[in-house]
Structure 1
Amino acid sequence: MTQAPTPTADTVRRLVRSLLKESTGRNTGEDGGPDVHPVGEGHEHTWWVGTQQVLRLAPDRDASARRRRELRLRDLVRPHVPVTVPVSVAHGDWAPGLAYTLDTVVPGGTADEHDVSAVGEADLAGLLGGLRAVPVRQAEALGVPRTAPRSLDALRRMAVQAAERLAAADEFDATRLHLTPPGAAQLAAQHGTAVLTHHGLTGEHVVVSADGRVRGVLDWTEAALGDPAEDIAGLAVAVGSPAAVRAATLAGYGPRPCLRGLWLARCDTVLRLAGDLEGRAPGSLPLLRSRLRRAWEPILLERVTEFKDDDDEPPR
């Protein structure tokens, strides 16, 4: 397999100049065009173009296929959700077989920078409800893959071991991971509940304004048809468990998927922090600690909920 080129500032400038020439009919010259720079360390395939646009370069052919699918998926999702879905102003190949998209910037900060307000929680509820309203067959026709629900009990077992290692490092109280095998079994994904999920609702992908409103959701390349609890889990890590569960409840989800999402998030954050500390998954320790703290914020729902065998989810 041919090694993909590493994008450089010169690569990006040449691409931007060619796009400007196509759109304006004018040659900007070697020094013309807007300023370009990477969005941050570890994001060498994502570049700011001036202050109003962001250029995303696919690093391989698989990512290219997801990037091209994302263009069609965003058009499908946009009418169903109350938050901004990015708009592409140009797309094509930046190297043979490798796609790019030039998107308009969605103004605002990230959920890692701003807290979500009560009105912002309503925005998130609209997002979750809107995703559930997207016709599954239409998403499937675009090539959106189906993903099987994860085993919460298997995740729990791995998280228990990781929690003990974190406790030994004085990073976490392992007794907080009190999810039992019967409890995990009760929170298994229900049959027939697959919906379109963003499947990547990290703090950096949720755009939040200074007043706490959710203004947009970025990067739809990992979207999948599957367990709605995955997006509830993503929001628990991004904006905190109480806000995530309140948003999911407003969207019409019952206690089971809310608590399933909560425990997916809690186990995931324990595993990620333990992996980082042990050098298996290098990352930002402060950010991982912050995400763990958000996911483990207490919520009233887990104290008052008792499941019965005939618990039903709201109709879709």
Structure 2
Amino acid sequence: MTLQPAGATVTPSERTMLTDLGGRHHLWSDEAEPTTLARGSENTTFAVDGFIARRTTDVEALAREVAMLDALADTTSVPVPLPVVHRPDLGVLVYRRLPGTPLLRRPDRLGARVDRVLIDVLRALRRIRPDPPLVVDEHPNEAWLADARVDFEATGSYLGTERAAIVGVFLEEAPPPTRSLRVAQHNDLGAEHILVDERGQVTGIIDWTDAALADPARDTGLLLRDLGSAVALAVSAGLDGPVTADERARIYFHARCKWLEDVAYALEDPAGRVAYLESSGRTFEHVFGGT
């Protein structure tokens, strides 16, 4: 999905849909001014008067997300988007905007025991049994590595000679074998989806669109990429017990693949995605420097 600048254009048809939606469900007034937050091939996200409205062409995926969020909200103390309106006929989900700013935008990312908060919400996610259930993410590690090699081709000039050489060594190594273990994952648990207040306390976890049954190293790999090994390994241990050498290797593998994906994404629009580039510059050493 493409992030939009503040005040990005809302089309006349979208404005009509949002005005009708707000009036019909008593959410906002006809005078409320919507803003486009993100626009992609399947999803468009709007902010309107303290609410977030997301419209999608994949109504089945939206139904799964709504069922999951409803179940999750009753199982964890960590704030997550709570569906206020679900309109399958429009492909629309509305929820109240959670307070806080994305952790991605904070240079100091380690607030008070963020690992405990993440363990709480991910443990709760594993306990729920939404209907319809989450899909199984079948993307094998060989495909993750192939994607990382493509991303590397798009990032060469940005990385510089020394870092490119380090990344090149990783890309020549065989990936960890794809395993059959699948557990419920946020599946996109980067710092941009962890909201915090001015003290660094977590105020919410957002953007559950990609939630699926997947390798548990997916979420912890993203946490290692953005928050470092101490947080990632603490979360892994809190969920599944002592971290084995095999699990550690899987976590680093996914962290490195997702690091390259983030850089390639940022370089598509360097001016609009400065926070992603700044983050990749800060995190390179701990992502590629240890195992």
Equivalent residue runs for 1:113-124 within 5 Å: 113-114=105-106, 115-124=109-118
Q: Pick one of 10, 30, 38 that aligns with 1:8.
A: 10
Equivalent residues in 2 for 1:1-316, closer than 5 Å: 8=10, 10-23=12-25, 32-39=30-37, 45-50=44-49, 52-58=50-56, 60=57, 62=58, 64-92=59-87, 98-114=90-106, 115-134=109-128, 138-139=129-130, 141-148=131-138, 150-151=140-141, 155=145, 159=149, 162=152, 166=156, 170=160, 173-177=163-167, 178-179=169-170, 184=174, 187-191=176-180, 193-253=181-241, 254-255=243-244, 256-273=246-263, 286-293=274-281, 295-298=283-286, 302=290
Cα distance in 1, alignment partners of residues 290 and 158 from structure 2 = 27
Matched with 2:5 is none
1:282 positional shift: 5.3
Question: How far did 1:273 drift?
Answer: 2.9
CA distance in 1, matches of 2:193, 2:99: 12
| Count of equivalent residues | 275
**Gapped runs of 5+ residues in structure 1?**
1-6, 304-316
Q: Which has the larger radius of gyration?
A: 1
Identity of aligned residues (%): 21
User: Which residue in 2 is equivalent to 1:309?
Assistant: none
Report the CA distance shift for 1:213/1:275 in structure 2 as closer, same or farther (over 3 A): closer
**TM superposition shift of 1:203:** 2.8
Considering only aligned residues, what root-mean-square deviation do their CA atoms show, in Å?
3.8
**What's the TM-score once normalised by structure 2's chain length?**
0.76
Q: Is the 8 A contact 1:149 1:227 kept in 2?
A: no
Amino acid paired to 1:129: R
> 1-side partners of 2:12 and 2:265: how far apart?
36
Closer/same/farther in 2, CA of residues 259 and 156 from structure 1, 3 Å limit: farther
Is the contact between residue 155 and residue 263 of structure 2 (CA under 8 Å) also seen in structure 1? no
Q: 1:161 to 1:172 in 2, by over 3 A?
A: farther
Change (3 A) 1:203 1:158: closer
**Which ranges in structure 2 are unaligned for 5 or more consecutive residues?**
1-8
- Give the SS at the match of 1:298: helix
User: If the length of structure 1 is used for normalisation, what is the TM-score?
Assistant: 0.70
Q: 1:172 to 1:230 in 2, by over 3 A?
A: farther
Contact 1:9 1:36 in 2 (8 A): no
The residue aligned with 2:4 is: none
Q: Secondary structure at the match of 1:83?
A: coil
Summarize the Cα distance change of 1:144–1:157 in structure 2 as closer, same or farther, 3 Å threshold.
closer
| Offset at residue 53 of structure 1 (A) | 0.8
Task: Flag as ranges the 4+ runs of structure 1 deviating above 6 A.
Answer: 41-44
